[in-house]
Amino acid sequence: MKKKFMALVLGLALTASLIAGCGGKSAGTQSTGSTDSTPAAGSTAAGSESAGSESAGQMVEGGDFIKGVSTEAPGFDPFTIQTAEARSIFFNIYEGLMGTGTDGSFETALAESYEVSDDLQTYTFVLREGVKFHDGSDLTMEDVLYSIEKAITAPITGYNEIDQYMAGGKAYTVTYKTDKDEDGKEIQTAEIAAADSADAPSDEKTLVIHLNTPDSGFLAIITNPIVPKDAKDLATNPIGTGPFKMEEFMEQDHTLLTKFEDYWGEPAHLDSVTLKYYENTAELATNYLAGAIDGFNSNSGGWRELEGTDYVQNVRHANAVQVLALNNDFGPFKDVRVRQAVAYAVDSDEIIETVSYGMGTKAGTPVTPGLQKYFNDELTSVYDVNVEKAKELLKEAGQENLSFTIRVPSNYQVHVDTAQVIANQLAKAGITVDIESVDWNTWLTRVYQKSEYEATVVSVDGRIAFPTAFLNRYVSTASDNFIRFNSKAFDDVYAKAILETDDAEQVKLFKEAQKIISDECASVYLQDIDMIVVNSPRFGGFASYPLYVDDYSALYSVQ
């Protein structure tokens, strides 16, 4: 028996008191409200961080918006590029079979309907008709099948759960095997074989996906983009079905998005959005004041430079956990006592007050606090600052003269400032810290991809609104385990969590997995920083999502 689900809320909730507590002194319009939403099946309440305040005046169609950004997306291929900044752009260009709503619920997108089996292993989607890609071609089942194959072989996390998918009278069977890369690290590869099948839907609109394990979060995974089957060089020429299309990309200068006139859904209001790149966040406020840009996002004090000027400010969570990441393969950090000593010497509350101006939520775990249903709030105070305890642990470990380098991305001022505060805090425990600032591309290559670092400060987000997006990287064999965390206890509990079909038991297991990460002190989890979204009063339409995204289709001009 199959049952049709209402949109499943795997939402990220934020209490009204937090938003109200985010008010700062400003001549601009300060957002202090929050929106409530009614949870759907199997979920706790979900709310968008802030509905925000709107510019005074009447909405008009058309207009061009220029946004200042400090990090350039390294490319636009959704199967190979997974940085937060890239995904924020993808949100406007690409669409999946399912999409994520502002309240955290999952909504039909390129699928017009779906069904889920009782055992959570068979998902059936009916393809939406009348959808066009940016190149003018029609969306077909062939495009969907091609995109699923790309996601499986990439691989995109979660797609390795698919053991068979069927459409158009054919069944596609997936076989997985484990190999090793040039560094000896285990990697999973997939081979797909197609064959005629009497069990496969005979029409060209119905897709059936069968999983090798039950997964209540698969609707989040299937939000990954659908692209044309004959797409070439998506990294520089992305083609999707979204409300905006890529018009121009000039490396280290700007990206131009223009309204897609043949969009199947509610069309964008603006004619274009230009993302103008700057070397660091400090330049954003300066260029806003100079009239060079119409808005920017700030998770540090840059927006405070706008006092006395005219602007609209909205507050939302970044939905990413800022972490002092400790490379567990680095000599001293192989000892859990040393990692714990660092954690006890770091004062997250001071970082929130001094670096984030009080606009952040304490974490204690890699899962963002906004993912309220799954967030283990018992861990936020486990490593409350205790310098004497830190010194004792260092003495036990024979590391009384501990020293290490924090390699931090220079384009994020908030992380640079946080590293400096941490260095001062650790000095009280006798720990010597050097800070090395590197450009973003160097950080991505050396720190994130190759784990060539001792410690770093960065915010880590989730690709989807489900705890697996935050926890999967801690699996010992995960390709994105840049912290090099290795714990059999975690691996075992996490494996049970993703297989569990009982909702309450699954929540319990995800929280237990977080506790193991805390007990073994994989790293130091600081805060989810509030994101300050600054726009010119000539624009309205702020929309907040439980993901690290900007929805440009919601923006509109005001006169």
CB atoms within 10 A of CB 163: 16
Could you tell me where the beta strands, DSSP code E, fall in 87-201?
Answer: 98-100, 106-108, 111-117, 122-127, 162-167, 170-180, 186-196
The backbone torsions φ and ψ at residue 493, rounded to the nearest 5 degrees and listed phi first, read -70, -40
User: pTM for this one?
Assistant: 0.73
Q: Where in the chain do CATH 3.90.76.10 domains reside?
A: 95-222
**Rounded CA gap, 463 and 10, in Å?**
13
Tens of each residue's pLDDT in the chain, 559 residues: 333 333 333 332 322 222 222 222 222 332 322 222 222 222 222 223 333 445 667 999 999 999 999 888 889 999 998 788 898 999 999 999 999 888 777 899 999 999 999 999 999 999 999 999 999 999 999 999 999 999 999 988 889 999 999 999 999 999 998 887 776 667 778 999 999 999 999 999 999 999 998 888 899 899 999 999 999 899 999 999 999 999 999 998 999 999 999 999 999 999 999 999 998 778 999 999 999 999 998 866 677 788 778 888 888 777 889 999 999 999 999 999 999 999 999 999 999 999 988 889 999 999 988 788 899 999 999 999 999 999 999 999 999 999 999 999 998 889 999 999 999 999 999 999 999 999 999 999 999 999 999 999 999 988 777 899 899 999 999 888 999 999 999 999 999 998 888 889 999 999 999 999 999 999 999 999 888 889 999 999 988 877 788 999 999 999 8
CB atoms within 10 A of CB 38: 9
Predicted local confidence at residue 82, as pLDDT: 77
* DSSP structure string for 59-83: EES--EEEEEESS--S---TTT---
Predicted local confidence at residue 272, as pLDDT: 98
**Rounded CA gap, 107 and 446, in Å?**
37
CA 300 vs. chain centroid, Å, equals 19
**Rounded CA gap, 416 and 435, in Å?**
8
Q: Residues near 468 by Cβ (< 8 Å), separated by ≥ 6?
A: 157, 158, 217, 498
Q: Which two tokens stand for residue 557?
A: 């001009």
Q: Which two tokens stand for residue 320?
A: 């990413």
Q: Which two tokens stand for residue 204?
A: 């060209």
* Residue appearing with tokens 């409350």: 384
Name the fold adopted by 244-315+533-558.
D-Maltodextrin-Binding Protein; domain 2 (3.40.190)
Superfamily for 95-222? Dipeptide-binding Protein; Domain 1 (3.90.76.10)
Pairing outcome for strands 403-409 and 272-277: unpaired
* Residue appearing with tokens 């283990």: 376
Predicted local confidence at residue 300, as pLDDT: 61
**Rounded CA gap, 226 and 61, in Å?**
28
CB atoms within 10 A of CB 254: 16
Cis check: omega of the bond before 155, within 30 degrees of 0: yes
135-to-249, 259, 267 alpha-carbon distances in Å: 17, 13, 17
Angle between helices 503-519 and 488-499 (to 10 degrees): 160
User: Which CATH number applies to 320-529?
Assistant: 3.10.105.10
Predicted local confidence at residue 75, as pLDDT: 92
Reported as type and span, the H/E element at residue 316 is: strand 312-326
SS3 at position 438: strand
Q: Where in the chain do CATH 3.10.105.10 domains reside?
A: 320-529
Euclidean distance between the first and the last CA atom of the chain, given in angstroms as a whole number: 54
Predicted local confidence at residue 56, as pLDDT: 64
SS3 at position 183: coil
Q: Residues near 481 by Cβ (< 8 Å), separated by ≥ 6?
A: 473, 474, 475
Nearest alpha carbon to residue 524 among 420, 386, 380, 387: 380
Counted residue by residue, the chain has a size of: 559
Q: Which two tokens stand for residue 280?
A: 């660091």
248-to-237, 244, 503 alpha-carbon distances in Å: 9, 12, 45
Specify the DSSP class assigned to residue 31: P
Alpha-carbon Rg for the chain in angstroms: 23
**Rounded CA gap, 146 and 162, in Å?**
14
Q: Which two tokens stand for residue 383?
A: 């490593």
